[in-house]
Amino acid sequence: MSDATLFLMVGLPAAGKTTRARELAAAHRALRLTPDHWMIPLFGDSMADGKRWVLEGRLVSVALQALRLGTSVVLDYGLWGRDERSALRWLARWCSATCQVVYLPVEKEMQLARIAARRETAAHETFPMTEADLDGWRPQFEVPDAAELGGGELPEPPPGWGNWGEWAADHWPSCLDG
């Protein structure tokens, strides 16, 4: 294994992921990749008709290149799904790097307060989110289990996928290019 580590920031919006990602990047001299910092200037929208998955794929590709060069990377994506996290853990191993899942739980009241503060102080850096959005997103989020948080064994990929790399290439178009 190389000295490079892939840090996966996991949590719902306004959980403190970006703040923690900045701290990790500084402490580990890591490259920090945050799709929202690209989506707003490029498209003005968090999803932009599916362009987010293409952008995330390109950022994963950059992350893999950095890991192969021995540079640690912080992916500040949110990573709500276990499959996403499993694929990225597999890709880190494929690059001979380690992977650390960093989970930041957040209560709804704190989310609402942080979102309101963002809208007041940095509206140009964030997307509008309503309480109804938060209520809809919470059930979609898969909380990491002890095995994920401890770097345990990877589950098998979903049926129909030979390995997590194939799954990742389908989920994030262009992630394995370059």
| 176 located within any domain | no
Query: pLDDT by residue (tens digit) across 11-43?
Result: 999 999 999 999 999 999 999 998 877 777 777
Question: Residue 80 sits in which domain range?
Answer: 5-171
- Per DSSP, the three-state class of 105 is coil
Domain count, the chain: 1
The answer to the question of residue 177 being in a domain is no
- Tens-place pLDDT, residues 82-113: 999 999 999 999 999 999 999 999 999 998 99
User: The domain that contains 21 carries what CATH number?
Assistant: 3.40.50.300
What pTM does this model have? 0.90
The answer to whether the beta carbons of residues 38 and 78 sit under 8 Å apart is no
| DSSP per-residue string spanning 8-46 | EEE--TTSSHHHHHHHHHHHHT-EEE-THHHHHHHHSSS
- Answer yes or no: is pLDDT of 115 > 80: yes
